A and B are shown apart, each in its own frame.
Chain A
Amino acid sequence: MHTLEEIIARVAAALPGARLEIVPNNSPARQPSLLLEPGRAVEIATFLRDDPQLRFDYASNVTGVDWPEKTVREKVKVKKIVGGMEQEAEELVERKTPGFLEAVYHLYSMALGQGPLILRLRTADRSGQVALPSLTPVWRSCEFQEREIFDLFGVQFQGHPDLRRILMWDNFADHPMRKDYAPAGDQEAQP
């Protein structure tokens, strides 16, 4: 099994300028993932599938994750002038990290018996019109699962052959797996 650093080096050698970033995972499972830039995701995915040393020919699990906007409160040391004297004081600063939606791909290699390699794609924000490139042309197994992300999270997959709702009905407007979803008239819902 190649380490993520080796995989990044192989991708960078074959596709100059492709930026990949390691997303650490602190759980005992030790499954860190690779963050791709959406613009070149199809190119990178095709390389990962076809490269004779990697051969990730099987995309097992494809799913979405919603990360809403977060407010982080931090104590920051600020220098203040109080009564002509410079003093150090702590101030509570609120910082907002922007929200985004994520598509996560778990890849395995059936030919070489290795994996998982986890790919992540992130949208710029989490508005109604967010788009990511579809990897269905690379792995057909993404077809229904990307449709499910489109249905439940509201990510438009560009290049998907048949992007329709899959589980909810066609006239349904919302995306139920988003964290802020509240069904109409549900008094118990706690978004």
Chain B
Amino acid sequence: MIAPPAELPAPGRVGWADHDLLEVAMGPHHPSTHGVFRMNVVLDGESVAKLTPIFGFLHRNHEKIAERNSYLAAIPYTDRLDYICSMTNNWAYVLTVEKLAGLPVPDRAEYIRVIVGEFTRLFNHACMAGFLLQDMGALGTPLMYAFREREKILDLFEALSGSRMMCNYLRFGGVRCDLPGGWREQAAGVAAAFHPFLDQFEALLSENEILRARTQGVGVLPPALAVNAGVTGPGLRASGVNYDIRKVDQYGIYNRFKFRVPLGARGGDVFDRYMVRILEMRESLAILEQALRDIPEGVFLDPKAKLRNLRPKAGEAYGRIEAPKGELGFYLISDGGPAPYRYRIRPPSLVNLTVLEDMCLGHAIADVVIILGSIDIVLGEVDR
């Protein structure tokens, strides 16, 4: 009989058979990292003893480029941050410029922003659930179901902005062009068809035994740590902290809509983070229904809005929105010139990764993939 080692591993460790630690570099080309992201994982047997995230593979110093260009020229660049959700990136940026320069936004434009923003949230969450299942080994099917629905929304975006993904649609003081004829009816149809899709998606997934076994009790994020580490978005609410910037700041016209903020019920494990997103999609549909019903006629861009050669007077502003991945903030300093003196993006994906190691310690390496998937990152935004 082999005597166990005198020093037993901490509770929760998978095994203690081999105490030689092994360092594995997961990424930058590992398929589960959703881009070029690397995790240096130190393994004790199969369980994670240390995890170091390594960034920067997609770094192009977006901030420096934007500081050389005019305010307007940065809008298409923000599309490439979180390249799944270009509309909300546009929104956070134009919101901050509007704060900095004190520009009004017409009512119709505010409604259009809410509609495209919530559509963005819908397909981001659906795709996140699909990718998470993909990471669990359900290759293809759930993701393709999500992509099929996303395609319908991208068609809407294409009719609106001319581009499926890099929309470049919002402008200071409104949006670039009005809704084309029949768009509203088509959008209402897509939103209405999303309910049965979600029912089907949930029937297939939420009760699934494998999904539950792989996600419940895995990667628990305590609420106190989540707040201190600056985790925002669905990941924070899954830990039970009621903080949704749409409710707290009520930016735009979010005070006009009735919607609830779903919270995690199990203490913040991977299943909670999955479930909160499913529930948030239902709330987004409720907002969409109200916005598509109430949208007024009128101008879509403030007639006095000055797009080219905008020179806000010297000062600074920080603006933030509830992007699908968390708090997306922009911090701009103007010195009165045609280009921002300082242009800073507060990326939700990067800050949410702060707690990746804390969530992974003691779990098997197969769970690391799922925990990372449950944070929902996009590397265009992490590295900027």
Residues of A within 8 A of B (CB): 25-29, 31, 57-61, 63, 65, 104, 106, 110, 113, 116, 118, 139-141, 143-145, 152, 165-169, 176-177, 190
Contacts and interface: CB of A to CB of B under 8 A. Distances in A.
Interface residues of B, number: 45
Nearest to B327: A60
Contacts of A28: 99-102, 315, 317
Contacts of A118: 318
B351 A145 contact: yes
Interface in B46-78: 55-56, 59, 61, 63-64, 68
Interface of B: 55-56, 59, 61, 63-64, 68, 99-102, 225, 227-232, 241, 243, 248, 312-320, 327, 329, 331, 333-334, 342, 344, 346, 350-351, 353-355, 383-384
A165 to B, nearest CB: 8
Contacts, number: 109
Contacts of A60: 230, 232, 320, 327, 329, 346
B313 A27 contact: yes
Given A27-B334, A176-B64, A177-B63, A58 B316 contact: no
B59 A168 contact: yes
A111 to B, nearest CB: 8
Contact of B243 (A31, A110, A167): A110
A34 to B, nearest CB: 14
Nearest to A62: B346
Contacts of B346: 60-61, 63, 106
Contacts of A63: 331, 342, 344, 346
Nearest to A58: B227
Contacts of A59: 230
B367 to A, nearest CB: 22
Contacts of B225: 140
Which has the most chain B C-beta neighbours within 10 Å: A59, A63, A113? A63
A165 B55 CA distance: 10
Given A139-B228, A140-B225, A169-B56, 16 more contacts: A25-B315, A26-B315, A27-B102, A27-B313, A27-B314, A28-B99, A28-B317, A29-B100, A58-B228, A60-B230, A60-B329, A113-B248, A140-B228, A140-B230, A144-B351, A167-B55
Contacts of A169: 56
Nearest to B315: A27
Contacts of B329: 60-61, 106
Contacts of A29: 99-100, 102, 315-319
B56 A168 contact: yes
Contact of A27 (B61, B63, B100, B229): B100
Contacts of B99: 27-29
Given A27-B313, A167-B383, A58 B56 contact: no
B318 A61 contact: yes
Nearest to A23: B316
B342 A58 contact: no
B169 to A, nearest CB: 24
A177 B248 CA distance: 32
Nearest to A27: B315
B66 to A, nearest CB: 11
24 contacts: A25-B316, A26-B313, A27-B101, A27-B316, A28-B317, A29-B99, A29-B100, A29-B315, A58-B227, A58-B230, A63-B331, A106-B346, A113-B248, A116-B318, A118-B318, A139-B230, A141-B231, A144-B351, A145-B350, A165-B56, A166-B55, A166-B56, A167-B384, A168-B59
A176 B61 contact: yes
B339 to A, nearest CB: 11
Contacts of B354: 140-141, 143-144
A43 B56 CA distance: 33
A177 B64 contact: yes
B353 A144 contact: yes
Contacts of B102: 27-29
B341 to A, nearest CB: 8
A27 B314 CA distance: 6
A24 B282 CA distance: 43
Given A29-B100, A167-B56, A61 B344 contact: yes
A167 B331 contact: no
B61 A177 contact: yes
Nearest to B341: A65
